[in-house]
Every structure is written in structure tokens, then in C-alpha cells.
Amino acid sequence: MTPLTKRGHGWTPNLDHVRAVSYIRQSKRREDDSASSPEAQRTKCEALITAKGWDSAGHFADVGKSGWDPKVVRPEFEEIPSSRR
């Protein structure tokens, strides 16, 4: 994973143009391969991004990947470009 970029002293974000990504994770893949929880998460994220007037810069999801186990690789999380984190 690429670390966050450090900003110089006095740096302030440009809130006139905000780009947002959504990252959805469900730790257990369900036996019926249901994706209802990730779909609900994505829908809520899309609604928030739209409501805030932000530009969507992508959606990423890791289903069946633990968020607790430090050895688990979450490929979609790793795909989020560092400039978007």
C-alpha cells in the first residue's frame, strides 16, 4: 500500500472540487453468493457522493476479505490510486 502524501505547512484542501472514492468490504462471502450488503453499501456511498456534489472517482469492493487479519490482501483496496487516498 502506498502511504498518504505528506502536505507542506499551510496546505489547505480545495473544497471547490472534491473527488471521492467508495470502498466497500464484506468480510464473509455468503453461501448463496449474495452481494446484497455490498450493493447496499455502494448505493449509500453513491447517494452520499451525489448529495454532497462531489465527483465520483471510482468504486472499489472486496467481498470475502477480512478487515481484521493483517495477512489478508485486499486487491481492490490496493487498486485505489494513492492520489485518491
Number of compact structural domains in the chain: 1
Report the distance separating Cα 8 and Cα 80, nearest Å: 23
Q: What is the pLDDT of residue 39?
A: 87
Whether residue 40 is contained in a domain is answered as: yes
Q: What is the pLDDT of residues 10-23, one digit of tens each?
A: 888 777 888 899 99
Report the distance separating Cα 49 and Cα 57, nearest Å: 10
Report the distance separating Cα 28 and Cα 51, nearest Å: 30
- Check whether 5 has a pLDDT greater than 60: yes
In residues, how long is the chain?
Answer: 85
CATH number at residue 60: 3.40.50.1390
Whether residue 4 is contained in a domain is answered as: no
Q: What is the pLDDT of residues 33-73, one digit of tens each?
A: 555 688 889 999 999 999 999 999 999 999 888 888 889 89
Residues of the chain with pLDDT > 90: what percent?
A: 33
pTM of the model: 0.67
Beta strands, E only, the chain: 19-26, 55-63
C-alpha cell at 24: 466497500
Whether residue 3 is contained in a domain is answered as: no
Q: What range does the domain containing 50 cover? A: 19-28+35-84
Residue 59's Cβ-side half-sphere holds a number of Cα atoms within 13 Å equal to: 13
